[in-house]
Amino acid sequence: MEESTSKRNLQNATPLELAGAIIGELSKTRADNIKMLHVSDQTIIADYFVICTGTSNTQIRAISNTLEVKMGEMNVYPSHIEGLDEAAWVLLDYGSVIVHIFNSETRRFYNLEKLWADGADIDISKYIVVE
């Protein structure tokens, strides 16, 4: 029997396993337009960027808070969180994986997908959880 995501211990997970678990949790929160970029060849700050959009600042805070709680249940904690006050762009730093939660306008303005276009856009369909 497969162990449920919320019971897993991801302390020693590979960056890809961690990013996959994060995407699974984000998909449960109804975050929009989730993307994963493999950026380890372009930067030393992370292996993957996970990017998503919330429909309002309230939803962005809720997505961030839920992700932090759910990942904590798997023994993984962000080393740094930025942007919660305004919640136009919240960043959660999980070391090898950096999560960016944007509102639509801010995501279009910064366009990380274009900025990091040399990073591979990873197919995330196997990580999405449909409830």
Q: Report if residue 99 sits inside a domain.
A: yes
| 130 pLDDT tier (thresholds 50, 70, 90) | confident
Domain of residue 80, CATH code: 3.30.460.10
Secondary structure (3-state) at 73: coil
Q: Report if residue 129 sits inside a domain.
A: no
Q: Report if residue 63 sits inside a domain.
A: yes
Distance, CA of 27 to CA of 86 (rounded, Å)? 22
Q: What percentage of the chain has pLDDT greater than the value 70?
A: 95
The 10s digit of each residue's pLDDT in 63-109 is: 999 999 999 999 999 999 999 999 999 999 999 999 999 999 999 99
Q: Report if residue 93 sits inside a domain.
A: yes
Helix (H) or strand (E) holding 98: strand 97-102
Residue 80 bridge partners (DSSP): 93
Q: Report if residue 3 sits inside a domain.
A: no
**How many domains is the chain partitioned into structurally?**
1
Distance, CA of 101 to CA of 29 (rounded, Å)? 12
Domain with 83 in it: 15-122
The yes-or-no verdict on residue 6 having pLDDT over 80 is no
